[in-house]
Amino acid sequence: MTKDSPAAPFLDRLYRRSAHGIKMGLEAMEGLAARLDHPERAFVCVHVAGTNGKGSVCAIMERALRAAGWVTGLYTSPHLVRFNERIRVGGAAVSDADLAGLIRRVDAADRDQVAAGGREATFFEFSTAMAFEHFRRSGVQIAVLETGLGGRLDATNIVRPLLSVITRIGIEHTEYLGTTLEQIAGEKAGIVKPGVPVVLGAMPAEARGVIERTARERRAPCVAAEEAVNVRSPRATLDGQSIQVETAGAVYGPLILPLPGAHQLENAATAVAALEYLGSLSSFSCDEAAIRSGLERVWWPARFQVLSRDPAVILDGAHNPDAARVLADTLKRVLGRRELALVVGLLADKDLAGFMRELTPRVKRAWAVQIRNERTLPLDRLVAGIRAAGLEVEGLPLRKALRQAREWAAQRDGAVCVAGSLFLAGEVFETMGIHDLDVLCREAEKEES
């Protein structure tokens, strides 16, 4: 977004709300929605929570529903380059002009709420309200909503969805969600509504048990994706992975899923299970062609995204030990024995030691970069942590780190992986001169058609 964009001054004020931090609870969001005359009731939705994979599941589901002819909304976070990416209708990010109008409308409602003695909306609450209002104004029929943090007290949890989906759960945000898998699963299970079916992705047994118990208590039918859907992938390359998906009533494939990695097989299974279940309980059905299109044409940047091939440079948003383990497995499967350089930056609240423990066996050389974010892990601590993991490392500005890593990989017929944060991924796109990811998406769709 340029400085002369009609939304720029409004977004500057919106970003300042981030300084107030995270405030768990639904009262402010419910009050804001009421003052907007409940835009969240103008469309039906699928509500998706989880630790890893929820964004990919959302992206596959939205793409399939769009292919089936429905007017779709997609709400995800965080954005990589532009705020607009968070709020999409029919695959297109909200325009700057529409964004300016939405901010004015929600800000007026928020001011009324504060004047009446209520709390000011946080950044995420305000953003969520804008998404709901944009979906209403745009005539969205069905929206796919990704939770921001947890589930039970997340701002998105004022909706009553047609279907809830919970993807793989791991340890994250312990200061808000708890320190055990059971506690975190309990927070994620907070999106399960009485009588509303829930689809579960593959996850540890202790987490699954908590969610299944919650579903029973709320009389919510519960389906495990790994029992309903079988996904096989005989081959993976930098272009994606060949897969075949089988359910009780259909076979999708063989086809190419553009998202590499064993974890994306889990996500594909979860998305297909959710789409088939959604079609069985509502008019929002997708035929086999639409579901196949959702799998083949999904575009979800910074998830094992190949930025270049000579040498191979891969960008991934992995930021916790579970995601790092999956990333390491995918790198091994796709790159084989090629030597690997790692460019890494993390936020201060992440488990650096656990993250590096998973990746260190695959990495020969590392470069540490400090993310431009108030929550960033300082460079000296990042370098010390990587060195403690047993790697040779140098701390540099991002542009210089990328250049040196590419040169190192080119000399060895190796590859570069950039990982640690989606905020870092956004900065990588900026260094490439990419200020609008929709341009990349349109280019990808042209190549496929």
147 shares a domain with 33: yes
CATH number for the domain spanning 415: value is: 3.90.190.20
Q: How many distinct structural domains can be found in the chain?
A: 2
Write down which residue in 266, 296, 326 finishes a domain: 296
% of residues, the chain, pLDDT over 90: 82
Please tell me whether residues 288 and 313 are part of one structural domain.
no
* Within a domain: 127: yes
282 and 357 both lie in a single domain: no
- Contact status, residue 222 vs residue 197, Cβ threshold 8 Å: yes
Residue 58 within any structural domain of the chain:
yes
Residue 294 token pair: 């959702």
Q: What is the mean pLDDT of residues 297-313?
A: 93
Asked if the structure places residue 101 within a domain, the reply is: yes
HSE of 423 in the Cβ direction (CA atoms, 13 Å)? 14
Q: Assess whether 202 and 328 both reside in one domain.
A: no
CATH of the domain at 83: 3.40.1190.10
108 and 243 both lie in a single domain: yes
Residue 324, classed as helix, strand or coil, is helix
The whole-model pTM stands at 0.92
CA distance 265 to 244: 10
Give helix 321-335 / helix 262-281 axis angle, nearest 10°: 110
Contacts of 280 (CB under 8 A, 6+ apart): none
DSSP symbol at 7: T
Q: Choose the final residue of a domain: 250, 265, 296.
A: 296
Instruction: Please indicate, yes or no, whether residues 323 and 245 belong to a single structural domain of this protein.
Output: no
Pairing state of beta strands 72-75 and 142-146?
parallel
Residue 443 has pLDDT above 80, yes or no: no
Residues 427 and 377 both lie in one domain? yes
Residue 261: is its pLDDT beyond 60?
Answer: yes
Dig out the tokens for 329 from the structure: 């497995």
Predicted confidence band at 436 (pLDDT cuts at 50, 70, 90)?
A: confident
Are 192 and 72 part of one and the same domain? Answer: yes
Domain end call among 296, 325, 353: 296
What's the token pair of residue 217? 């208590």
Quick check: is 1 in a domain?
A: no
| Tokens linked to 187 | 């927070």
Distance CA 219, CA 229 (A): 23
Give the C-alpha separation, 190 to 199, whole Å: 14
Break the chain down into helix, strand, coil percent, rounded to 5.
Answer: 50, 20, 35
Whole-number Å distance between alpha carbons of 351 and 99: 35
CB 99 within 8 A of CB 84: yes
Residues 325 and 281 reside in one and the same domain: no
Confidence of residue 126 (pLDDT cuts 50, 70, 90): very high
Query: Are both 95 and 145 inside the same structural domain?
Result: yes
Q: Are 140 and 73 in contact (CB under 8 A)?
A: yes
Q: Is 252 among the domain residues?
A: yes
Whether 283 is covered by a domain: the verdict is yes
Residue 90 near residue 71 (C-beta atoms within 8 A): yes
Residue 3: inside a domain: no
Q: Which pair of tokens denotes residue 308?
A: 């270049």
The verdict on 259 and 370 lying in the same domain is: no
pLDDT in tens, 141-167: 999 999 998 899 999 999 999 999 999
Range of the domain at 217: 8-296
Q: Are residues 237 and 325 in the same domain?
A: no
The confidence band for 260, taking pLDDT boundaries of 50, 70 and 90, is: confident
Q: Tally Cβ neighbours within 10 Å of residue 415.
A: 25
Express each pLDDT in 329-353 by its tens digit. 999 989 988 999 999 999 998 999 9
What is the overall mean pLDDT for the chain? 92
Alpha-carbon distance of 209 to 207, in angstroms, equals 5
10 is written with which tokens? 């409004």
For residue 258, tell me if it sits in a domain.
yes
